[in-house]
Structure 1
Amino acid sequence: MGLPTKPFYSIFSLFLIIFTIFKLLPLAKSAPDYTKLVYKGCAKQDLSDPTGVYSQALSSLFGTLVAQSSKSKFYKTSTGNGQSTISGLFQCRGDLSNVDCYKCVSGLPILIDKLCGSKPVAARIQLFGCYMLYEVAGFPQISGMEMLYKTCSGKNSPGSGFEERRDTAFSTLENDMASSNGFYTTSYQSVYVLGQCEGDVGSADCADCVKIAVQKAQVECGSSVSGQIFLHKCFISYNNYQNGVPKTSSSSSDWSPSSSSDRVTWSVSSEDSYSRP
């Protein structure tokens, strides 16, 4: 008398079906980490604050900025009086929800203290999804078009037509940025691009800033298949998708800071500090 086989084959068949289903299911894509550090800038000069007036003003400024981040993606204000005035702002990426914006911004004051150590006269921290900056009255100003930071990664294969596709996407970005309310995304075939200007920049100046950022991307990143260019008043990012730009998610959230980066005037890597003339 032979051994029973139906239960064995039934279990085996069930296992095979389950295995096949799980094999066919696409892996869930993890949510982008909007709080990932991109760069920091910490002035080398510390606040002279024997009476604590600057510390009080800075604490008040941080509290106001964090509170506003649950309602707005950009806010600029100042606190204190006269020479003790401290100005600051935050901005979130245009495709973040108010909840994600608040989550991103709320950790920046602690991060500034952690990364910059003692209280500098100015600081700027750029995360994946937001940034915050502050400066005391009288701190030297720089051009809104000055490059702060860049990152370029991946090399394109010669003859693939990538640079032509990228430049076509860049051209659309440049042409439409003035009417975009400061945030715009577009794609051309396999290339996705994003541009954003600081919230108080006018439409014409925004378009000019993005054009300069595009030019710098073409020169600084060359044939790199992804890159980000941060100017003082705007930034752009681009990415090449060999299988086509994803249709079900914001492709701008797929880029992350690359190890192939460069230090420039305003800001530097997470290990250093900066100074300006």
Structure 2
Amino acid sequence: MGYFLPFLFAFLVPIASASDLLGTRCFDTGKNYSASILDVERMLLFQIAQHGGYSAATSGSGSSAVYGLLQCRGDVSLNDCIQCGKDAANLLRTQCSNQADARVWYDFCFLRYDTENFFGKSDSGAVILYWNVNTVTDTAMFERKLKGVMDSVRGQALKPNSGGLGRDKVKLSPFNELYGLAQCTGDLPTAQCASCLADAYTYFQDNGSSCKDQQGCRVLSNGCYVRYEIYPFYFPLYSSPKPTPVSHAYLSGRKKLH
């Protein structure tokens, strides 16, 4: 399978509800995998309904095999998880017809098909960024607080039986808090989860990143989801999120699995 050089495309979009579409990506495999894709889709949706949160499935063998993964965000309800999985499958069926190297990100879930066995392997390609267009004023203080909350959520996500999920908040001032969330896909062992989260966190720190010193940022990759905001965005919501202008960037790249 070929690898693609990174490119960057950014534009302003209105704030979306948490279950809305965040991005899709299809890679042309040059072969029709429709039957295997449908088999994998049915298995993923059945398992997610039975067990909730995470499912993985395979159909076919050898060069005809299709591997699929459906991961819901760990704080959403089972009903929202199932609905998100159905929406994701329907979207890939339309936008990535018969292409078994495809993925779609929603804020509630992530669905991926591939012709390579990616289970348990770290893959930091095809990163999506969403960032708040407003910048922080006291950057030094904010960086300290951000590091603290992200260290906390990463630590939680790496604990056994955590489902790969961590979430926490920290006081910025008497009236404001910083909220953070991190989650890995359920197939990743601890070491690969830690690697994925570390890669994602660099987008918050890198001076060349659009997330640097912004009031909020989301990083979505093939193996993990990391986000921070200055308003509550994960469940349970203690107050309604503020409408905030955001920017979106898609960095499409295929990196070798390791």
Do these two structures clear the TM 0.5 threshold for a shared fold by scoring above it?
A: yes
Change (3 A) 1:35 1:171: closer
Q: Give the drift of 1:77.
A: 1.1
Contact 2:216/2:227 (CA < 8 Å) preserved in 1?
yes
- Structure 2: which amino acid aligns with 1:227? C
Contact 2:133/2:247 (CA < 8 Å) preserved in 1?
no
List alignment gaps of at least 5 residues for structure 2: 1-15, 172-176
- Structure 2: which amino acid aligns with 1:209? C
- Structure 2: which amino acid aligns with 1:198? T
Contact 1:124/1:132 (CA < 8 Å) preserved in 2?
yes
Q: Equivalent of 1:194, from 181, 199, 205?
A: 181
Q: Equivalent of 2:86, from 97, 102, 106?
A: 106
Which residue of structure 2 lines up, in the alignment, with residue 235 of structure 1?
Answer: 225
Give RMSD over aligned pairs.
3.2
Q: Secondary structure at the match of 1:199?
A: coil
Instruction: Provide, for residues 18-58 of structure 1, a one-character-per-residue CA deviation record: whole Å limited to 9, x for no partner.
Output: xxxxxxxxxxxxxx8454100101113442x4xxxx32221
Q: Is 1:262 equivalent to 2:249 in the alignment? A: yes
Q: Give the drift of 1:247.
A: 11
Which residue of structure 2 lines up, in the alignment, with residue 135 of structure 1?
Answer: 114
Contact 2:153/2:165 (CA < 8 Å) preserved in 1?
no
Change (3 A) 1:239 1:94: same
Q: Secondary structure at the match of 1:250?
A: coil
Q: Secondary structure at the match of 2:133?
A: strand
Q: Is 1:42 equivalent to 2:42 in the alignment? A: no
User: Which has the higher mean CA deviation after the structures are superposed, 177-186 or 85-94?
Assistant: 177-186
Distance in 2 of aligned mates of 1:170 and 1:89: 26
1:210-225 aligned at under 5 Å gives the runs: 210-219=197-206, 220=209, 221-225=211-215
Structure number with higher strand proportion: 2
Q: Secondary structure at the match of 1:263?
A: strand
Distance in 1 of aligned mates of 2:87 and 2:26: 17
Q: TM-score, normalised by structure 2?
A: 0.76
Q: Give the drift of 1:240.
A: 1.0
Which residue of structure 1 lines up, in the alignment, with residue 151 of structure 2?
Answer: 171
Which residue of structure 2 lines up, in the alignment, with residue 22 of structure 1?
Answer: none
Instruction: Provide, for residues 180-200 of structure 1, a one-character-per-residue CA deviation record: whole Å limited to 9, x for no partner.
Output: 330010011110000000101
Q: TM-score, normalised by structure 1?
A: 0.71
